[in-house]
Amino acid sequence: MTTNVFIVSAPSGSGKSTLLARVLAADPKLVFSISYTTRPPRGRERHGRDYFFLSREEFEEAIRRGEFLEWAEVFGNYYGTHRRFLDQARAEGKDLVLDIDVQGARQLREKFPEAVSIFILPPSRAELEKRLRARGEDSDEVIQRRLRGAAQEIRRYREYNYVIVNRDLDEAADYLAAIFKAERLKRAKIENEIRPILAGFEQAREGEQDHGAA
């Protein structure tokens, strides 16, 4: 099976992690790329589950060793995608899901033009601010910085193949799951599966012709 590379971006607080957690739990064909970051962990975040938390020195060393498929500086911290998740998805015949920002998405599209990208939008600026506050993880200053960042990121939605407005969580999760599933059925991606089916019909037809000739 071809490994699909799915890029999911959204302004911080849009509900992307919540959405992804739901969809990933329901679809065993997806491998989630756990990013590396120099940002400190938030409340319930755990090393190795939500992120791999590194010091700046460790991160810079990993950059030098060429371990990242892409990396970027977001809100003053480094974030990067380790190569091994793509290797793992390929080895297991699964699809890879990347939760990365617009800069990382750009780098990945250059490397994998066939990557499928999805942009998640909050229903409004006011709702985004509400969600950032409700999460209760960031200081007022960080929230203001994230809101300013959101304005910049949202302008880049045109670079994405799909856009989902995360108004209702159930509906948005259904859409995201549907995109992942539909992409797997693109004809070019399932040629290997189609070939033996067609071959079976061809063999039967040849058999019938032989009978006819006899």
Where do contacts with ligand ADP occur on this chain (CB under 6 A)?
10, 12-18, 131, 134-135, 166, 168-169, 172
Residue 103 contact, options ligand 5GP, ligand ADP, none, Cβ 5-8 Å cut-off depending on partner type: ligand 5GP
Q: Is 122 in the site for ligand 5GP (CB under 6 A)?
A: no
C-beta of residue 146 within 8 angstroms of C-beta of residue 132: yes
3-state secondary structure 12-26: CCCCHHHHHHHHHHH
Closest distance of CB 184 from ligand 5GP, Å: 23
Q: For residue 117, state whether it binds ligand 5GP (rule: CB under 6 A).
A: no
Collapsed DSSP state (helix, strand, coil) of residue 203: helix
Q: Which of 3, 14, 81, 117 is close enough to bind ligand 5GP by CB under 6 A?
A: 81
- Note the maximum CA span of the chain: 85
> C-beta of 126: minimal distance to ligand ADP in Å?
12
Cβ neighbours for 180, distance < 8 A, ≥ 6 positions apart: 4, 6, 23, 27, 30, 95, 97
Does residue 80 touch ligand 5GP according to CB under 6 A? Answer: yes
Q: Total binding residues for ligand 5GP by CB under 6 A?
A: 15
Alpha-carbon distances, residue 91 vs 1, 2, 48, 66, 159 (angstroms): 10, 11, 20, 20, 29
* Partner whose binding site includes residue 176, from ligand ADP, ligand 5GP, none (CB under 5 to 8 Å by kind): none
